[in-house]
Amino acid sequence: MKNLKEIIIVTGLSGAGKTTVLKALEDLGYHCFDNFPLKLITNLIRIKSPSYREIKKIALGMDVRGKDFTKKFTSHLEMLKSNYSIKVIFVEASKDVLMNRYSETRRRHPLFEGNLEKALNKEKKLLEPVRRYANLTIDSSKLNVHDVKNITYHKFKTKNKLLYIHLISFGYKHGTPHDADIVFDVRFLPNPYFVKSLKNHTGLDHKVKKFVLEEDTTKIFLDHFMRLLDYTLPKHEAEGKLNLSIAIGCTGGKHRSVVTVEYLKDYFTKKNYYVKTEHRDLGKK
């Protein structure tokens, strides 16, 4: 891993939510490895395969399942700190909560030998030295999955928003997209189709854009529409939704819907969202 810069170690009590944290880090662009053996870290970071060459940040899930994890954690951590930015996330929860979670899921605790409470106590004691190195400790006792993810997002995300927005323009005469989260009809906007010089152009043409966007009806609509999206999109993100598709439809899918989608693309790109556009019916008759 020639370009590796950052390593996050995710550890903590079994059943507390380590996997949820790893999934959140994966959403943030980290290459994640769960139940990773401590002794193999050196081998991992020395991999020279082309498929691993451009990896800049990784997250490793480690816990008492790994042999000698608690005994050799400190020495490995100090070794890594000399070359990489290292952070440790420790995830925990109260004994009562963990016992209830194991009761509900019927999973077997990795240290279970006939008594769950003893296994939990033993694990907590083993991990105490590791916990001292935590840069972030998450107590999930009173948190749900979304809460745990949001804490991780808030701590480690870049300037970009987490929500991935897929914008689709379409024509109603060709049918509505079946998998869109939000569908909006813009057939009330001024129609370039009835302007002879614009009819055979598309919403990607500068003159068509100008015709649609400079009308008062469009300006008022976009003002209201953007306020609505500015309010709702962060709510979707807070609920853990990472992909949102917004479909904008006009009659044929060539003019007004295309202009609107292009406007939304520019608007949300400037707000640091990940944006993809699809003009579904642009080439259809």
Per-residue pLDDT of the chain (285 residues; tens, 9 = 90+): 778 989 999 999 999 999 999 999 998 889 999 999 888 888 888 887 777 778 899 999 999 988 788 888 999 998 888 889 999 999 999 999 999 999 888 889 999 999 999 999 999 999 999 999 999 999 999 888 888 988 888 788 766 677 889 999 999 999 999 889 999 999 999 999 999 999 999 999 999 999 999 999 999 999 999 999 999 998 888 777 778 999 999 999 999 999 999 999 999 999 988 899 999 999 888
CATH class of the region 6-156: alpha beta
Q: What is the pLDDT of residue 102?
A: 92
Cα 62 to its chain centre, rounded Å, is 22
Q: For residues 227 and 220, give the distance between their C-alpha atoms in angstroms, rounded to a whole number.
A: 11
pLDDT value at residue 125:
95
Any idea how long the chain is?
A: 285
pLDDT of residue 160: 67
Is there a contact between 155 and 90 (Cβ–Cβ < 8 Å)?
no
Q: In this structure, what token pair is assigned to residue 197?
A: 């010089």
List alpha helices for the chain, DSSP H: 18-27, 41-45, 50-53, 69-81, 95-105, 116-131, 145-156, 206-213, 216-238, 256-270
Give the model's pLDDT for residue 236: 87
Residue 38's nearest CA partner among 78, 70, 4 is 70
Domain with CATH 3.40.50.300 in the chain: 6-156
- The predicted pLDDT at position 45 comes to 83
- pTM higher than 0.95, yes or no? no
Instruction: Sort strands 85-92 and 136-139 into parallel, antiparallel or unpaired.
Output: parallel
